[in-house]
Structure 1
Amino acid sequence: MAQAGHYLDKESGSVVPPIQPSTTFARNEQGELYDSNRIYARDQSVNAEMAEAILCELEAGSSCKLFASGMAAATALVQTLRPGDRIVAPTVMYWSLRAWLISFCADWHIDLAFYDPQNEADMVDVVKAARTEILWIETPANPTWEVVDIKKAADLAHSVGAQLVADSTVSTPLITKPIEYGADFVFHSATKYINGHSDVVAGALIAAKEDARWERLCKIRAQQGGILGPFESWLLLRGMRTMHVRVERACENAMKLAQHFVGFPGVKEVIYPGLASHKNHDVAAKQMTNGFGGMLSIRFEGGREKTATIMGRMKHFVRATSLGGVESLVEHRALVEGEGTPVPDDLLRFSIGIENVEDLIQDLEQAIIG
């Protein structure tokens, strides 16, 4: 990964892959393609394929496709469903995707059912209530960080003839490889940890095997054009070259910060899978290796108003959406998501970066104490 798939230009000695911006590929005098695999860059991008190959290897999958955004990737997968099909998803998940699912499924007569990710029995009941094609899980679930047992979810899905899609954005392939636990597809908002520098919007899907659904998805991507451009693909590959050190540092910082604020005056609860107090810690310890991620949430005494005040006092944490970059971010998710959100209004979500963790701890301390 750090060597970009052991890339080396044999002519120049370059260790950094070049950007190939060409949109079309020529034929020789006989009308034969110089490269039989390339006609047009919408679905045959040199830079995208380099990044896809590394992601595919990291996730132990059989094929990977990059998209212009996480939403483009997720929606393309859902669009492989037919009218009358059924998808089951968690009540707590990426908010934009949840909102789109509700609208799209209603318009296209796809049955959408939600389960409580905090209740394993509820997932079983909802999946078995009717014929299901796709079970969607997000683990850890943003922003309340429930951890779903991927193997149990995969076994459940397969027992009813469904396929399991695992949103592993927060874990990254360095911490959890869902395919090894039985997932059929792995989804990433590659904007986050895979890129890691807050300068690329991208999505990725990895398939355990290239089945009929995967073939439909590939056609949807090619025909709808939700592809990642050459420069963005090159940036994504650049980001992956440092992913292992960035994620390791973020995990270390997140654990230290979480441990520090457990029982801190004014703190109601610290939600982090790495803490023994986390309700799914045993599951997390089983399927999350090399750390428990860089994301955590903290609930504060004093409700919405006090929580918003604490956020406003921070000096090192950047008040911004997104996650997984080298800088630490904080966000009041209930405020952002608005009416209908299942997120408590006393909760702040933190994306812990790679800064000196003592600076982050001191910043949050002063914000709480005032």
Structure 2
Amino acid sequence: MNPHEKQFETLSVTYGERGQRPADGVEDVVVPLHLSSTYEVSDINPDVGLEDLDPDEGQFLYSRLSNPTRNALEHRLAALEGGEHGFAFASGTAAIVATVMAAVEPGDHVVAFDDLYGGTRTMLTRLFEERLHVDVSFVDAREVDAVADAMREETSLVWMETPTNPLLRLCDIEAIAEVARDHDALLGVDNTFLSPACQNPLELGADVVVHSTTKYLNGHSDSLGGAAITDCPNLSEEIAFLQRVGMGNMLSPFDSYLVLRGMKTLPLRMRQHNENAMEVARFFEDHDRVRAVHYPGLESHPQHELAERQMSGYGGVLSVELDTDLDGTAAFLGHLSEFALAVSLGGVESLVEHPATMTHSPLSQAERDELGISDSLIRISVGVEHVDDLISDLEAGFAALASHSMASSDAAAMSDDD
């Protein structure tokens, strides 16, 4: 199957699985789970090295190097992102580490979005800056000029998330790709928050795309994994080396099987995530106990026009700043039942988390303040449940917040009387 001849929905269901070499007499519709760690070979061949083995021709030696189930997944990942080379890792962080490591060397410089996922920002500073001697500049990439001004002769990589975690800020992928090319640097984009169903960075000029497959690609909160997809042959070779030899970090066969299965419903799920998130965002926007709603699908989002231009859907994640303090935020969160208080996102179930004390707690208070991550900011991953039930749950949270505010006012009044 030529991926360029098929629509996204078709690729999601069948690409990478049809045409696999099944056992004699068995015609699997779904690629089976291959748990074997090693594979029997027919004979020795001194003229064939490890790099010459072609898993697409059924040539397997050891599952760290390649595995039939993972091979099918990597083909589908590449097809959905419109790339040539896909790699599946044990986590999204592992995929980012391998990709950055493949693009830089000691003495190089990286320009990165300042509003990155806390774990990614910490990895860039503590691993690459402090230990591998790669300088990193964090900039507000909402402004293309800020990226251009930060570029240096030794800049080898520009690293973006769009939308960012947790404030849903965007960067202009196409414009920043031009800046990177002008400086002979690579552009990497973390596309986790949207999935290839809603955004395709490679088509906009990015050199490599990464995902936490844990999120929308798998979609069921039961598998941890990561992915990197690229069209660049040289970068592909480096990522392959790091995945299979340099780091020995790859997605397990069972997790590969789960992600393959999850991706079959990716287009269906994303349509519902998008629809539900828009209604939830509008609900928050109309509420008088909300200071700000961050969701690119809203016309009030300062980069809504850019979102319309480079995204085909707005995703299921939004963040909201409640009009209260930390205690009031805790009261709101403590009275939700449909929205589980948990990190992660992109599953069929709705989740809510508190960035200041959860995903972005590794950052200092000063760093959080600079980024705008307040104590009343919550990040919501809207699932595929019926939206009326989700909004009813949020109303219960606001009712608890109102009771908290009334109790606080009464306590303050009593204190004044004393």
TM range (shorter): over 0.9
Corresponding residue for residue 193 of structure 2: 170
User: Is 1:358 matched with 2:388?
Assistant: yes
For residues 75-114 of structure 1, the aligned pairs below 5 Å read: 75-80=97-102, 81-104=104-127, 105-114=129-138
% identical equivalent positions:
37
What TM-score comes out, normalization by structure 1 length?
Answer: 0.95
Select which of 333, 340, 348 maps to 1:318: 340
Corresponding residue for residue 272 of structure 2: 249
CA distance in 1, matches of 2:399, 2:153: 51
CA distance in 2, matches of 1:23, 1:126: 46
Corresponding residue for residue 291 of structure 2: 268
CA distance in 1, matches of 2:298, 2:113: 23
Q: 1:321 to 1:36 in 2, by over 3 A?
A: closer
CA distance in 1, matches of 2:355, 2:110: 25
Contact 1:183 1:208 in 2 (8 A): no
Q: Which moved more, 1:81-90 or 1:299-308?
A: 299-308
Aligned AA (2:143)? N
Contact 1:195 1:239 in 2 (8 A): yes
Q: 1:335 to 1:149 in 2, by over 3 A?
A: same
Offset at residue 123 of structure 1 (A):
1.9
User: Is 1:145 matched with 2:175?
Assistant: no
Offset at residue 12 of structure 1 (A):
4.1
Corresponding residue for residue 146 of structure 2: 122
Aligned AA (1:91)? D
Corresponding residue for residue 55 of structure 1: 77
Partner-residue secondary structure (3-state), 1:71: helix
CA distance in 1, matches of 2:88, 2:236: 13
Contact 2:144 2:175 in 1 (8 A): no
User: Is 1:42 matched with 2:64?
Assistant: yes
Partner-residue secondary structure (3-state), 2:352: strand
Offset at residue 38 of structure 1 (A):
1.7
Q: 1:26 to 1:324 in 2, by over 3 A?
A: same
Offset at residue 30 of structure 1 (A):
6.2
- Alpha-carbon deviations, 1:136-158, whole Å to 9, x = none? 01000011001111100100111
- Alpha-carbon deviations, 1:26-57, whole Å to 9, x = none? 12256699967322110211111101111111
User: Is 1:293 matched with 2:315?
Assistant: yes
User: Is 1:202 matched with 2:225?
Assistant: yes
Q: Which structure has the greater CA radius of gyration?
A: 2
Offset at residue 119 of structure 1 (A):
3.3
User: Is 1:231 matched with 2:254?
Assistant: yes
Partner-residue secondary structure (3-state), 2:299: coil
Aligned length: 367
Corresponding residue for residue 357 of structure 2: 335
Contact 2:142 2:172 in 1 (8 A): no
- Pairwise CA RMSD: 1.9
User: Is 1:4 matched with 2:19?
Assistant: no
Select which of 18, 21, 31 maps to 1:17: 31
Contact 1:4 1:237 in 2 (8 A): no
CA distance in 1, matches of 2:58, 2:300: 56
Offset at residue 121 of structure 1 (A):
2.5
Partner-residue secondary structure (3-state), 1:234: helix
CA distance in 2, matches of 1:157, 1:64: 22
Corresponding residue for residue 193 of structure 1: 216
User: Is 1:134 matched with 2:157?
Assistant: yes
User: Is 1:183 matched with 2:206?
Assistant: yes
Offset at residue 130 of structure 1 (A):
4.6
Contact 1:308 1:332 in 2 (8 A): no
Structure 1 unaligned regions, length at least 5: none
CA distance in 1, matches of 2:209, 2:85: 11
For residues 302-313 of structure 1, the aligned pairs below 5 Å read: 302-313=324-335
CA distance in 1, matches of 2:143, 2:67: 43
Aligned AA (2:38)? T
For residues 210-225 of structure 1, the aligned pairs below 5 Å read: 210-211=233-234, 213-223=235-245, 224-225=247-248
Q: Which moved more, 1:221-230 or 1:112-121?
A: 112-121
Q: Which moved more, 1:340-349 or 1:102-111?
A: 340-349
CA distance in 2, matches of 1:345, 1:239: 34
Partner-residue secondary structure (3-state), 2:158: strand
